[in-house]
Amino acid sequence: MPLQLGRAARINGHMVRSARLVLTFLVSLAAGRAAADAPPDPFKLYGNEMVFSVWRSGAEIGQHHVTFASENGALVVKSLFDVVIRLLGVPVYRYKYQSAETWRDGKLDQLSSTVDDDGTVSKVEAKEDNGKLAIAGPKTHEVATLPLLPSTHWNAQVIAAVRLLNTLNGKVDQVKLVPVGQETVPVGAAQRQATHYHYTGDIKAESWYDAEGHWLKLNFAGTDGTLIDYVCKSCMAPP
């Protein structure tokens, strides 16, 4: 009898976990559809800026900083990712990424980005032209249909996206974000529940968003395979 009860408990536990996973998936789909229908207001979500500390192998190597501003009726979003890897205190590698997005009427109007990969510089330029987005990257030129989201992560509409403008190389990447489950992540000095999403397709990363659409965490493998991890320092609007 104890063995049968134990087996029943395991089965019930499995069913509960499965039900929770299905519920999480359905909630994530609903959030994704809502995000696709209504572009988020970053000022309500984040205020004027958001900041992540960037970690590698247990050491903080830099920051990712995003700012939001209204200029001439447009939303301007600027991102800066700046990291330095040191060996015995001596800088041995630096990577710096900067981008500026201009949004009008909830759609991407233009974007420019620059990557400085330890002295090797590349650029991406994109601009709306007759309802399409003309994109020029280091090794590619193409015209993409709009709407198209950039791979800057702050916009939770990416949850429902099937393609993204890769702001590192100018390519239009095919993607799908798959919900993994609910997790608790650090947000400044506090903790917050968020859905963990796994990128599949052309982009390889893990990203976390809460039910309100805040981007709270990111990680991905660096060029050497070492995990690069974002930890939120400030990613919610002040109360």
Per-residue model confidence as pLDDT tens digits over 10-47: 334 443 343 343 333 333 333 434 334 446 899 999 99
Scored b (16 or more CB within 10 A) or e, 46-67 reads beeebbbebbbeeeebbebbbb
Q: 120, exposed or middle or buried, with CB in 10 Å at 0-12, 13-18, 19+? A: exposed
Residue 14 lies in a domain: yes
Residue 159 lies in a domain: yes
Q: How many residues does the chain have?
A: 239
Residue 195 lies in a domain: yes
> What's the domain count of the chain?
1
Is the pLDDT reported for residue 179 higher than 80? yes
Mean per-residue pLDDT of the chain = 87
How confident is the model at residue 39, as a pLDDT?
Answer: 66
Q: Which residue has the higher pLDDT, 7 or 154?
A: 154
Q: Identify the domain containing residue 23 by its residue range.
A: 2-87+147-234
> Among 121, 44, 106, which Cα is nearest to 73's?
106
Query: What band does 239 get if pLDDT is binned at 50, 70 and 90?
Result: confident
Residue 92 lies in a domain: no
How confident is the model at residue 216, as a pLDDT?
Answer: 98
Per-residue model confidence as pLDDT tens digits over 87-135: 999 999 999 999 999 999 889 999 999 999 999 999 999 999 999 999 9
Contact in structure between 233 and 51 (CB atoms under 8 Å): yes
DSSP E strand stretches across the chain: 49-56, 59-71, 74-87, 90-104, 107-117, 120-129, 132-136, 141-145, 149-150, 163-165, 172-187, 190-201, 206-209, 215-221, 227-234
Contact in structure between 142 and 135 (CB atoms under 8 Å): yes
Residue 127 lies in a domain: no
Average pLDDT over residues 136-160: 96
Residue 221 lies in a domain: yes
Residue 128 lies in a domain: no
How confident is the model at residue 8, as a pLDDT?
Answer: 35
Residue 59 lies in a domain: yes
Per-residue model confidence as pLDDT tens digits over 45-96: 999 999 999 999 999 999 999 999 999 999 999 999 999 999 999 999 999 9
> Among 50, 52, 44, 49, which Cα is nearest to 69's?
49
